[in-house]
Amino acid sequence: MDKFRANLMVCGGTGCVSGGGLKVKQAVEAQLKEKGLDKEINVVLASCSGFCAMGPIMTVYPDGIFYQKLTPADAPLIVEQHLLKGKPVEKLMYREPLKKQAVPAMKDIPFFNLQVLRALRNKGLIDPESIEEYIARDGYQAAAKALTRMTPEEIVKEVKASGLRGRGGAGFPTGLKWESCANAPGPVKYIVSNDPAVFMDFDPHVILEGMIIGARAVGAGKGYIYMRNEYPLAMQRLQKAMEQAREYGLLGENILGSGFSLDIEIFQGAGAFIAGVGTALLRSIEGKRGMPVPKPPHSTEQGLWRKPTLLNNMETWANIPPLILNGADWFRSLGTEKSPGTKVFAITGAINNGLVEVPMGTPLRKLIFDIGGGIKKGRTFKAVQLGGATGGILPEQLLDIPATYEDFARAGAIMGGGGVAAMDNSNCMVSAAKFSVEFVVDESCGKCPPCRIGTKVLLDKLVDITEGRGVEGDIELMEDLAREIADTSLCGLGQTAPNPVLSTLKYFRQEYEEHIREGWCKAGVCRPLATFHIDAAACKGCGACARACPQKAITGEKKQPHVVNQELCIKCRSCWEACKFGAVQIGPAGLRQELIDRAKGAVAAKEAETAKGVETI
């Protein structure tokens, strides 16, 4: 590979690209050419760095200087000051929350240096569209080892010994699944990978390598990668990786002269969430409607076209190459006894968003506050939803639980695909539960009545509560219904759908009671149950609330207490978010009419006083 004085790794992840990363790359390349540096400095559209909240991102190697939130207009400054004069541009560097000092190097930023990268070991370091760069980082070495120096039985034994658990759902032991498929009779077997497509932004070759090893272990000769068509960049990168692998003899007939053959093709799905359920995904590949079917038989016995099929998600496949290359003991050196290895989490919400990898057992508090940077805008932490839309919502007192399958389940949450959505004090827990159930109602395939009908009834009750029509008994009814849905639904979607409701009823029951009994959403999210007014004693008269109000419903003199015109207020919370002094208060719905009557009374009194003065004159 060519040598350069410096390598500029522009993040090529979906988030940075959609934020203008390609234009940043083009602008930097144009500046380098103008300054005559294009032969000595290399610009690479690298794999995603994972720090999506700060994109577009660029890292300058060999020093690892990290730049964030770039625009094309920053290119001349970077080239002139950093690459020509050797002075990194401080104003484009990362700054920790609540601290003013810039952090120049990526290795010193907590978001990066608190991670342990295995599945994502190449993130931000290679061009995801270059097989040469993947090979330079030990790529396909594990496949070579598995195909030329290990028997299928030895591969399965190593995976079993590692304790690796499926990274996409309930955490079933991967080795046991592989053993079941390997022992299933029949000359025709299939191997399948499903989403998350995000791994294609990082490292498409690691998925292919993992599948090659898995196919060798179970005796599969044909593979499919299920990809939702919402990810065109990931699809493009995967297609290119497959073409490169075939060109290098790593896919197709007689791979590496081992006598083993494997072909893999992409299956484009329509984006149905239900296709995350294994049996629904396999039906979709067969050309049928994506709907789950009862088990047993399991897919390892009768999967695609009723043939033994090994199905794992992409994160599981990404763990296989380093596991085979380094061994089961190395894999178990991180994590816990029952949940060894690392886990990839997508941290989102009221913190620094991004994709991170940490050892299993890492406390949630470390994920949210140390890696995620804590809650933004000076607000306070309130809750975290784990495992995506059907995950449980946990309170602050559970932030110190370790991230393992067992601990999450005991708390009423799920590991799922690794979603960690932090919420602050601006969130309403009843509304959060409603949002999740709305998603399930939209995504339910409709096959089984508990999910099809039960979640709709659950949603109707939540809508009533958030719109002021909740009555005594609704809470108990929802608890009973949610448990019935979880116990009687056919697949994982219905079985986990009640998690947001059950967990918020367990940990935030008071909010439901306030909505029903007091007609009050204290977060001001449920508009029919909130009234926004200004505390005159706390108001500084700065006018921030008035400037933020889209209805011009707030009036007042400078440095004097302001007033909300309740008849104009649409309860959008803009004033509450703009106020830095806590002067904007959120009261119950019934307060609105009281304030209107009080305002009208004040106007009438003033008019009467004016009329009396005129009469006196």
Residue-wise pLDDT tens digits, 121-164: 998 899 999 999 999 999 999 999 999 999 999 999 999 999 99
Question: Is 26 inside a domain boundary?
Answer: yes
**Residues 216, 308 within the same domain:** yes
Tell whether 324 and 208 lie within a shared domain.
yes
Residue 270: its pLDDT value, please?
A: 78
What pLDDT band is residue 197 in, cutting at 50, 70 and 90?
A: low
Looking at 424, 448, 465, the residue that finishes a domain is 424
DSSP assignments along 542-571, one per residue: --HHHHH-TT--EE--TTS--EE-TTT---
In a domain, 263, yes or no: yes
Q: What is the mean pLDDT of the chain?
A: 93
Q: Are residues 209 and 244 in the same domain?
A: yes
Residues 238, 362 within the same domain:
no
- Output the pLDDT for position 13: 85
Do 419 and 538 lie in a common domain?
A: no
**544 located within any domain:** yes
404 and 338 Cβ atoms separated by less than 8 Å: yes
Q: Is residue 225 part of a domain?
A: yes
Residue 374 region by backbone torsions, left for phi larger than 0, else alpha for psi between -120 and 50, else beta: left
- Position 434 confidence tier, pLDDT thresholds 50, 70, 90: very high
Whether this model's pTM surpasses 0.75: yes
Tens-digit pLDDT profile for residues 245-303: 999 999 999 999 999 999 999 998 877 888 888 999 999 999 999 899 998 999 999 99
CA distance 404 to 165: 11
Do 392 and 509 sit in the same domain of this protein? no
Please state the domain count of the chain. Answer: 5
Check which CATH number belongs to the domain holding 193 and give it: 3.40.50.11540
Phi, psi torsion values for 76, nearest 5 degrees: -60, -40
Is 120 inside any structural domain?
Answer: no
Judge whether 615 lies within some domain.
no
Q: Are residues 382 and 498 in the same domain?
A: no
Instruction: Indicate if 235 and 381 belong to the same structural domain.
Output: no
Tell whether 95 is covered by a domain.
yes
Decide which of 75, 110, 145 is a domain's last residue.
110
Q: 19: domain range? A: 6-110
**Are 419 and 433 members of one domain?**
no
Do strands 354-359 and 342-349 pair parallel, antiparallel, or not at all (unpaired)?
A: antiparallel
Identity of residue 170: A
14: which residues sit within 8 A by CB, 6+ positions away?
48, 198, 201, 231, 233, 234
* 125 inside domain: no
**pLDDT computed for residue 598 by the predictor:** 84
487 and 585 part of one domain:
no
Residue 283 shares a structural domain with residue 239: yes
From the number of C-beta atoms within 10 Å of its C-beta (0-12, 13-18, 19+), residue 510 rates as exposed
Shared-domain flag, residues 69 and 92:
yes
- DSSP one-letter code for 275: G
- Whether 317 contacts 120, CB under 8 Å: no
